[in-house]
Structure formats: structure tokens, C-alpha cells
Structure 1
Amino acid sequence: MTVSQPTLLSLAARITELAETFTRFQQENNIPVVTFAADSPTSYSNLTADAFVTRQLLSDALSDMWYLSQGPSESIFNYVHTCMPDAAVLNILNHFDFGSAVPINGSASFADIAKHTSLPEDVVYRVLQHAITLRIFTETEPGRPSSSRVQHTSRSAALAKNPGLKALVSTILDDAGAPMMVMNETLRRYSLGKPALTQNMDETAFALLHSGRVYGKYTNSWDLLENDGEGERKGWRARNFVEFMRYIKDIFHLEEVLVDAYDWAAAGNVTVVDVGGSAGHDAVVLARKFPNLTITVQDLPKVKPVFEADLPADVQDRVTFVEHSFFDPQPVQAEIYIFKMIFHDWPDHDAATILRALIPALKPGARVILVEYMGDQTEVEDQQKPPLARSIRQMGTATDVRLMALFNGKERAVGAWKNVFALADGRFEVVGVKADPVTFFAIVEAVWRG
């Protein structure tokens, strides 16, 4: 069977069609138009599932247009040539807070920015020259550094306005970026010729990189997050990670996913433990919506000050924090235990160990609810509908590769979660799996039959 291949003209027509559909949705729903101007909205709001899919299909078509317009060889060369400088420059801009050096509605000289960042002016100029090609900042007089001034675009302004986005960039690029570049050597050393990826946490790309003591000798990224830095800076990565998770919650509408994950109202007056619940952002939402819930948030000690600073007064009688490592025996007996985006960070045997640590506190009928990003989304796609946009699938595949580098972890297919529970203990019974590829998340519910 011959498959019809896209052409530049067919893609151009498809892009026009999808752009018109998406624009019409914006107009009909009074959604502000995004531009490159500094005062532009920083994200699209109130997208329906259909509008979101339309946008991602548009992204796919634009990618194909770029690939074909460059040609196979040149598109690979151009990507390789720019991908690492792109990431490095964004990481530098973020790390040294270039965004606050430039007023959102004003401008700054290169000398001003150099003074703000304490970097050499030549470095600032060269970094910004590449950033400008990415529509991150712009300048008033290109090619005249002595008189030109730097202004924000919507992309640089988004970073300046949103600490969560800054935290996301730092976590993905600064924490996880370097390990990914030694994955090839890690796979050669530890997995070459073997039937499966090594499950040893000492044999990750992260461990290999840090064996050279670039930041210190850390065994895994959680160790780095908890301990990197000295004095007041110690643990800065952990605090940054909390902000990152807050932002992830917002962009993926995780509050809605969690609210819909279970019939909380029908559960009655129950105790819920949010295991690895960061600073309690989701626990606060649940407590406000469902006054029948008493919630304990568990995480590492460094998170506690953030939790205490952020906890609203109206839920302080029902939301508390307990310092706890989920590898240790569970100290709190509850009816429901929640794990949100926890297990994808761990190989199967470690995920099973985390579940097994619950057993000392479990009473018959206790429930465990996993909220996890879906790995192989083809398991739940409706075969009667067109396949999901590549850009949607890419969200999962990119995260999956990053997890491989950091933890030898993975984004699991929906069916794989039953195997994890079975590996932990046969008395766990998976009683429900809900998966929606458009929201990216799967909800797995298990009951303890011990």
C-alpha cells in the first residue's frame, strides 16, 4: 500500500486550514491573541480539548514544513548545530536572571545587564545575540552594541513574569540537561548486549556524570536537590523543584485531574495521605473542595518551610505536613494514599519497594491512587479516531528519555502499572484505570486486600 507523502504545498494548505480553525476558536471565545510583543498574553487560556488538539496538529504540520523546507541532511545538521547552544543560552539567561535586568515595558543597555548579572559585558552581548535569534529578547539597533538597547519579547517576558516557568527551565536544563548528554556512554557501559535496561541506580547517566564530581558526588538527582549548595544556598535546587512542581500543576491542570481522579465526596470522612506531595498545593485544592477530607502531606524536610509559608489559614485544621521518605515504613494510617507523578522517577523494583513501604500502615480496603503521565498512549487511543498529534506523543517520549537518564525510570504504558503492584505484593488489587491521552494522565486505583 502506497502512503501519500506530504509536500510543501499540501502542508501549506493544511497549516492554513488549521491556523484558520484555531484563530476562529479564539475569536469566538474572546481569547486574547498571542504575539511576540512584551505585553502579549504568556499562554493560551481556556482551550477546549478540540482546540488543544488543533493546536498540536498545527505544530506537527509546521514541523514537517520545516523538515521538508530544509531537506533531510540539512534539517539534521541545522538541528544539531543549534540545539545545544539554544539550551545553553536559555539556561544562562534563566540562571543569571537576565529577565529582571530589563524592565518589562522598558529597555536596558548591554552594560546595564552586565552590571545586573555580574557577567562580562562581552559575554552578555554574545549570549543575547543568540537569544534574539530565538525571539527571546529583541534590540533597538541591531549591530550597534554601544547604542542599542535590549527589550523584552513575549517569550523573555514570560520567564520574567512567571517564577514557575523559571523553575521549570532550571529543573529540566540545569538539573537534567547534562546527564542526558552522557546517556550514550552510560548505555554502552551498563546496558549494551543485555535484554533490558539496567535497574541499578548507580548505573544511571546521572550517576556517571556526577562520579566526576562536577557538582559533588551525588548518587541520584534527589540527593543533588537536597544537598547542593552551601550555607543559605544549600538545598536551593529542592526549593526550585517545589516551584517547578507548582508550575507543572498549573500547565497540566493537575488540580482538575486530581479532583476527577476519585469520588472524594462519596468517600465520607476519611484521612488521605499525599505521599511525596511537595508543598501541598494539590492537598489545599482537595481540602477546599471536599470538607470531608483530612489530608497529610508527606515530603522531605527541606520542603516543610515552603509548605508552612504557603498553607492557607482556612485549611490549617485539615491539612498537615509530616517529614517522610517514601522508602521508609509508612507512619500514618489512612483510607487513601495518593502518589502524583512519583513512580515514573523509579525503576520497577524501586517503585515496588515504595508501595511495599505502605504495608505496615495499611488496613483492609485502603486505597492507593496513582496519578501518572501516560507512557505508551496507543494503549488507550480510540482506533476509530485519527492518531494523536506527534507533538502530544512527544511530550511523553521526551520525559521518558529524561527519566532514563536520571533514574533508569520510565513513563509506563497503562497496563504496566498492574505489574508494578503485583511486584510489590499480591494483596494489592488494581480495581480501576482511567486514561485520557488528551490530558496526558492515567489514574490507577488499587485496593489493599490484606
Structure 2
Amino acid sequence: MAAATTRIAELSSLIARETAKLDEFLRAENLPTPSLDENALESLPIPDRRPDIKEARLSVMEACSELKDLLTGPKELLRFPVAPWTQYASIKAILRFKLDQSFEVGQSTSFEAMSEFSGLNVMNIRRIVRHGIINHHFFKEDVPGIITHSALTAILAGNESMRNSLIVEIDEFWPTAVKVADAMERWPNSEENNETAFALANNSQKSMFDLFADEPVRGERFGRYFSQDKTADGLLDNYPWAEKASMVDVGGSHGSVAISVAERFPHMVCHVQDLRDTVAKGASRLPADLRDRVLFREHDFFTDQTVVADVYYFKSIFHNWADKYCIKILQKLVPALKKGARIVIHERILPGLESLTTVDARRAINLDVGMLQLLNAQQREMHEWPELFCRAHSGYRYLGARQPPGATRWIIEAEWEG
């Protein structure tokens, strides 16, 4: 009787099979093989018409992660992974002293030149750069003492948006992670956004929003981090806008979604609501031909809604707030709601047990804990959405949630029945 195939053998076979698919695709498309060299492609250009190749890539990534853990073993996994307490020290120093910008992409440098550029001594430059190389693929040292860019530092050196994102993650997110347990102990089960790991990390009694309002440089940097996401994420093609006449983008920032809807559906009137400075900036950037159909209005969604519309749209708003505040947001819509009005919430849903091992699931769960540490907020599971509407008002009827193909966000919908 043949022995049963072991899990590590299954994973090894899967990795070989799916990697072969990827390699065949790259060859057929005359694309270079993946690399971390400075001239490498920034991402694999897999087209939407090839979902099989996208799935193969994810399968390999997930299998590699599981195989690595299995071969590490439980005892070693219980210990901190490589360089845990120094994990991001080199990245933070490289960004702070702009070492990635100390020499041109395509050129080389030395520890001595980096020292002169930054003001740090050669010993500290050497230890920081080598830590970055071995842990994060930041820079390369193929010849002793001669430093060149890797694909990662080449991107950072020329892409200010990516650089800003990494600075926010290192300076704002990372320090709060180590304070999560402290905050949970100090304020058990709190739903207040100033009783958080972020508040402890900043030695503050203010919420993240209030603290950034007091420190505009940090606030502007944080805003740029999230302003990169301008995609409609399947919304335009997977919601019946042709049947609607008006929408309110609540907390809509500079109006990217409302503008996209108005451009695609010329019969639609779109209102964008946010805080005063935000909507003023959005209005100033609005194309002239949309000014009669995209209207910016100052509004706090914790106050009564005044605009009557067919659809009230919320993109990644509810995950910033604990249940008690999300319920209040829904209740404050009621004064303006007409029978049949729809509430569309556009954000991630936490995965069920059947998909907890996927890359997307890991991202969603990591984001959920991130919202806890920043704001005492949360991502929600599927069953929590109808419960939230029910707790807000009996006049809401939950219609369900669906995820457009290839999208990260779900379209979560309810109807006002009065």
C-alpha cells in the first residue's frame, strides 16, 4: 500500500506546478522573469483576462508561506521570527536619513559616501544598510563595500507617493502595534477613539483624527497615504446607477467616486459631503463640465442628513468607527430618507473560516487589528452588517452584500422602508 502523500510534498508539488504556469505565461508574453534587481518590473503585469494566472500566483505565495512555517517547526515559530525587535529599524533609518535618495538609480555608492551624505558615521551606515539588505531587500552589496539599488530602493528613490506610504506605516502604524495589549488592559472593551494604542504611543488623550488636526504636517502626510486609493473597485460596473438619479457620497473626501459616477452616468447628480477644508479643496479641483452635477457640501455625518437622494454611499467609512458610532451615522441619515432610498457601504468584509489562509484574508485581518490599534474601530464579518442596520433603526431592510470579481471591497446594501 502506497504511503499517503505528506503535506510538505503536496505543497512542494503545488509550488512547482503553479510556478511552471507562471513561467510559461511570462515566456509567452515576452516578459522578464521576476527579480529584485533595480531595473526589475515593479509588479507582475498579469491582465484581468487571465484570472488563472492571478490564481496561480496567489497559490504559490500561500503555499510558500505555509511550507516555510512547516519546515520552521512549532518551537522555532514560537520564538520571534528573524530580527523581530529590530525588524523595521533599518527601514526607518534609511527613510529618515534619505539614504535611498543619496545616489542615483543605475549608479553605485559606498558606506563612506552615504556617511558624508547623512552625517551618520560609517559604522552606523554599514550596520543599518546591511540590516536592510538581509531583512528587506533594501539595497544590494554584490561587491564588498559597494552599494547599489535593489528594486525596492529604486522605487522609493523615484516614487514620492510610495515613500510617503512607507513613512506613514513606519512612523504612525508600527509604534502603535506594541501598545495594543496595554490599551486593551487600560480601557477594556472601549469603543472610544481616544482610548487606543495610538493614544498611548503618542502619549496623548486625543483621538488620531484630533491629534492630526493639531499637527497638520502629520495629518497631511497621513491624508496622502489614503488619497492614493481612487479606484471605484468594481462599483461602476456592479451597481445599477442607470436606475438612480442622485447619490450622496458621505465622507467623500475630494469626490473621486462621485466624479467617476457622474462621468459614467451623465443623468446623475452627485453630492460630496465632508469637512469644510476637504470639500473646499475638492470643489477647487472639479472639472468645469461637472460643476452642475457634482456638488460639494460641508457636512458632519454625526449630524442630521439634509440632502434627499436615491443612494447614500460610504466608502471605507464604517471601518473607522466602533459599532456605537456606526449606528449613530445610520440614525443621522433617517431625517432625509425617502421610502426606497438605498444605503451602499463599500468596504472589506472579514473572511470566514473557509478562507482564512489566503493572502487577501491575511490583509483583511491585519487591517482589522490595525483599525483596533488606531481608532478602536473594526472590519466586520458578514453577519455583523444586518445586525448593525437592525440596531440602528427598524426602518432599514438589509439587502445583502456582494463582491465584484477582482475587487477587494464588497458592496453592502440596505433599503429604507420607513
Match of 1:58 in 2: 60
**Residue 398 of structure 2 corresponds to residue 396 of structure 1:** no
Change (3 A) 1:436 1:334: closer
Secondary structure of the 2:246 match is: strand
**Structure-2 separation of matches of 1:121 and 1:363:** 68
User: Is the 2:100–2:157 contact (alpha carbons within 8 Å) kept by the matching residues of 1?
Assistant: yes
CA contact (8 A) 1:104 1:152 kept: yes
Once residues 88 and 160 of structure 1 are traced to their aligned partners in structure 2, the CA distance between those partners, rounded to angstroms, is: 19
Which of 188, 201, 225 is the equivalent residue of 2:185?
188
Structure 1 match to 2:380: 412
Separation (CA, whole Å) in 1 of partners of 2:273 and 2:319: 18
Q: Within 2, Cα distance between the matches of 1:322 and 1:404?
A: 30
CA offsets, 1:113-138, max 9 Å, x none?
45655655554443222111121111
Q: Does the 8 A contact of 1:374 with 1:435 survive in 2?
A: no
Structure 1 window deviating more from structure 2 (439-448 vs 20-29): it is 20-29
- Give the equivalent residue in structure 2 for 1:15: 15
Q: Which residue of 2 aligns with 1:243?
A: 224
Instruction: Note the alpha carbon deviations across 1:137-167, whole angstroms, 9 max, x for none.
Output: 113533x3xxx3x322111223334344334
Name the residue aligned to 1:265.
242
Deviations along 1:101-121, whole A, 9 cap, x unmatched? 332222344455456556555
Deviations along 1:356-393, one digit per CA (max 9) or x if unpaired, are: 22223333322211001111345xx7xxxxx5753221
Task: List aligned pairs for 1:368-447, cutoff 5 A.
Answer: 368-378=343-353, 387=355, 389-435=357-403, 439-447=407-415
Conserved? CA contact 1:365–1:448, under 8 Å? yes
Counterpart for residue 168 of structure 2: 171
| Alignment deviations for residues 70-97 of structure 1 (CA, whole Å, 9 cap, x no partner) | 3333344351x42442333323434444
Partner of 1:24: 24
Deviations 1:248-300 (A, max 9, x none): 44xxxx42422134111222xx2322222233233332222222222232233
- How many equivalent residue pairs? 413
Tell which deviates more after alignment, 313-322 or 391-400: 313-322
- 1:278 & 1:109 partners in 2: Cα distance? 44
- Where 1:176 maps in the other structure, the secondary structure is helix
Q: Shift of the alpha carbon at 1:243? A: 2.7
Instruction: State how far apart, in whole Å, the 1-side matches of 2:275 and 2:86 are.
Output: 35
Amino acid at match of 2:207: N
Instruction: Provide Cα deviations, 1:389-409, integer angstroms capped at 9, x if missing partner.
Output: 532211111111111212222
Per the TM alignment, residue 340 of structure 1 is displaced from its structure 2 partner at its CA by 0.8
CA distance in 2, matches of 1:295, 1:338: 10
SS across alignment from 2:88: helix
Where does residue 225 of structure 1 map in the other structure? 212
Distance 1:19 1:98, change over 3 A: same
The aligned counterpart of 1:384 is none
Distance 1:66 1:291, change over 3 A: same
Match of 1:159 in 2: 156
User: How much does 1:10 deviate?
Assistant: 4.1
CA distance in 1, matches of 2:362, 2:330: 29
Q: CA-to-partner distance for each residue in 1:19-66, whole Å, 9 max, x for gaps?
A: 112222334455554311212221123254333332222112211232
1:232 is matched with none
Match of 1:207 in 2: 199
Which 10-residue stretch deviates more, 349-358 or 153-162?
153-162
Letter in 1 for 2:200: L
Question: Is the contact made by 2:319 and 2:379 (CA closer than 8 Å) also made in structure 1?
Answer: yes
- The structure-2 alpha-carbon separation of the partners of 1:305 and 1:169, relative to structure 1 and needing over 3 Å to count, comes to farther
Q: Following the alignment from structure 1 to structure 2, what is the Cα–Cα distance between the partners of residues 322 and 44? A: 40
CA shift at 1:420, angstroms? 1.2
Q: Which amino acid aligns with 1:175?
A: E
Q: 1:49 to 1:118 in 2, by over 3 A?
A: farther
Cα 1:261–1:438, aligned 2, differ >3 Å: closer, same or farther?
A: closer
Relative to 1, partners in 2 of residues 1:331 and 1:4: Cα closer, same or farther, differing over 3 Å? Answer: farther
C-alpha contact 2:272 2:279 (8 A) present in aligned 1: no
1-structure distance, mates of 2:396, 2:224:
33
Equivalent positions of 1:288-437 (< 5 A) are: 288-304=263-279, 307=282, 310-378=285-353, 387=355, 389-435=357-403
Query: How big is the alpha-carbon RMSD for the aligned residues of Structure 1 and Structure 2?
Result: 3.0
Per-residue deviation, 1:175: 1.7
Measure the CA separation in 2 of the matches of 1:34 and 1:406: 35
Q: Pick the aligned partner of 1:77 from 53, 75, 79.
A: 79
Specify the SS of the correspondent of 1:82: coil
C-alpha deviation, 1:221, in angstroms: 1.7
The yes-or-no answer on 1:91 pairing with 2:92 is yes
Unaligned runs of 5+ in 2: none
Identity, % of aligned positions: 28
Contact persistence 1:365–1:447 (CA under 8 A): yes
Flag the 1:316–1:138 CA change in 2: closer, same or farther, 3 A: farther
Deviation at 1:424, TM superposition (A): 1.7
TM-score (norm 2): 0.87
Q: Taking structure 1 as the reference length, what is the TM-score of the superposition?
A: 0.81
